[in-house]
Amino acid sequence: MNLAATIDHTLLRPEQSTRPRIEQLCREAIEYGFASVCVLPRWVPLAVEMLAGTPIPVCSVVGFPLGGNLPHTKRAEAAHVLDVGARELDMVLDIAALKSGDDAAVLGDIVGVVTLAHERGAIVKVIVECGALDEAEKIRAAELVSRAGADFIKTSTGFGYGGATIEDVRLLRSHVAPSVKVKASGGIRTREQALALLDAGADRLGTSAGVAIVTGNVAQTAAY
């Protein structure tokens, strides 16, 4: 298995997202062949410039990390990062709407971003923040993400509600449409964790510890 090719090499912590570290992130993505580089919207142009001429796409976030932005705000944010070169979007589902039972609002929110992205040849990963949901809510989220035509369902933002678990990956995999892939994210720090999540059904991993995972050098985990 080409483990690096399953990893979105990620740096989203605002206190760590300095220009030198984003540049390092991109150099590492080229060196190890990661699936994408995932950065805050402000750094998309820099990442696009550094990855020009490589097959590595730039990913950015929409409605991150809380998901409570209005649908037109998310769509505008998505349009902006696509305009400056992002080709993958990780958007946060409207958790408040889901918990309020407003499935129509959740669906419409996702469809708005998915439609825009697909028109421009980009893909969308919908973050459902499993740590904030009960099992029934996770299942509803999986069904709504499938109905919206998103490309991936993603377990978590990694900001405050816990990270990826094998149980959540299995649950989401069993309830999304066959066309929807699963991205595990949050707290993935070792090769063993990464392989276990992939074995459970994840197709992509989001982590800031990609170099440590592929090299086995745990000391590199602290780089971000």
Is 125 among the residues known to form the active site? no
Q: Tell the burial category of 21 from Cβ atoms under 10 Å away from its Cβ (0-12, 13-18, 19+).
A: middle
- Count of C-beta atoms within a 10 Å radius of residue 39: 26
Q: CB of 185 within 8 A of CB of 203?
A: no
Is 138 among the residues known to form the active site? no
Is 183 among the residues known to form the active site? yes
Please list the helix, strand and coil fractions of the chain in percent, rounded to the nearest 5, in that order.
Answer: 50, 15, 35
Residue closest to 143 by CA, chosen among 131, 119, 135: 135
Q: Tell the burial category of 186 from Cβ atoms under 10 Å away from its Cβ (0-12, 13-18, 19+).
A: buried
CA distance 181 to 205: 11
Exactly one of 8, 90, 94, 168 is catalytic; which is it? Answer: 90
Exactly one of 74, 125, 154, 181 is catalytic; which is it? Answer: 154
What residues are labeled active site? Answer: 90, 154, 183
